[in-house]
Amino acid sequence: MVTLGDSVLVRWRNLDNESVLELSAQALAPDTGGARAIWMHRTRDWEVGRYQVEIISADGALVPVAVGVFTVVANGAVITAFAHTETSTTSGSAD
Is 95 within the bounds of a domain? no
Is 1 within the bounds of a domain? no
Cα 30–Cα 51–Cα 15 angle in degrees, nearest 5: 130
d(CA 55, CA 75): 28
Cα 34–Cα 85–Cα 44 angle in degrees, nearest 5: 95
Is 42 within the bounds of a domain? yes
Write the CA distances from 24 to 44, 48, 82, 94, integer angstroms.
18, 23, 32, 28
Low-confidence ranges of the chain (pLDDT < 70): 1-5, 31-34, 80-95
Neighbour count for residue 25 (Cβ, 10 Å)? 10
d(CA 29, CA 66): 17
In terms of pTM, does the model score above 0.75?
no
Is 39 within the bounds of a domain? yes
Is 73 within the bounds of a domain? yes
The whole domain housing 15 covers 7-89
pLDDT by residue (tens digit) across 52-79?
999 998 888 888 989 999 888 888 887 7
Is 2 within the bounds of a domain? no
The total number of structural domains in the chain stands at 1
Contact 58, 9 (CB under 8 A): yes
